[in-house]
């Protein structure tokens, strides 16, 4: 690949085409990676929660973050901060699994603060449980974590 040219998608937007591992880290060109989540998929809230939970349970919080990011971008205005916070929890777990304890803790706490106002359990999401999970994990991070073993339950 010519190092002076950037990878582009069909619309001409810059996209890194390098394969990725299960935590979203780039691998060398030609390596076998984990299939990426398609971007811009509009799902129902229930579909978003189910798919994100499947990915979290599979130890792929980076991919769950992408699903939750799509939900954030397509959500009605009054729910955007909920989905944005959920995406931050998933990417916080990603950083924790990669061993970035400071960054992981920051994102977990930021996500917890962002979703806390939604305690009324929109779409059955266990906001109180997720806030407690994120704050507890952030306090105890001292090295890489197993993302599937530490995966939260989005619906309790």
Q: What is the pLDDT of residues 59-112, one digit of tens each?
A: 999 999 999 999 999 999 999 999 999 999 999 999 999 999 999 999 999 999
Range 56-92 burial, b when 16+ CB lie within 10 A, else e = beebbbbbbbbbbbbbbebbeeebebbbbbbbbbbbb
Six-digit token string for 156: 């309790």
**pTM score, whole prediction:** 0.86
**pLDDT for the residue 3:** 47
Mean pLDDT along residues 35-63: 93
Q: How far apart are CA 5 and CA 110, in angstroms?
A: 36
> For residue 132, is pLDDT > 90?
yes
Q: Report the DSSP beta bridge partners of residue 20.
A: 26, 34
> For residue 8, is pLDDT > 70?
no
* Residue among 65, 150, 128, 137 at smallest CA distance from 105: 137
């Amino acid at each position: 690949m010519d190092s002076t040219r950037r990878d582009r998608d069909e619309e001409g937007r810059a996209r890194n085409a390098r394969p990725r591992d299960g935590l979203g880290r780039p691998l060398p060109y030609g390596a076998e990676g984990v299939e990426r989540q398609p971007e811009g998929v509009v799902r129902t809230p229930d579909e978003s929660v189910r798919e994100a939970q499947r990915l979290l349970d599979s130890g792929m919080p980076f991919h769950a973050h992408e699903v939750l990011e799509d939900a954030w971008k397509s959500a009605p205005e009054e729910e955007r901060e909920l989905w944005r916070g959920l995406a931050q929890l998933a990417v916080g777990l990603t950083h924790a699994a990669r061993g970035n304890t400071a960054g992981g803790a920051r994102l977990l706490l930021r996500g917890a603060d962002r979703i806390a106002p939604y305690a009324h359990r929109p779409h059955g999401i266990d906001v109180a449980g997720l806030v407690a999970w994120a704050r507890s994990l952030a306090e105890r991070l001292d090295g890489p974590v197993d993302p599937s073993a530490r995966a939260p339950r989005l619906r309790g």
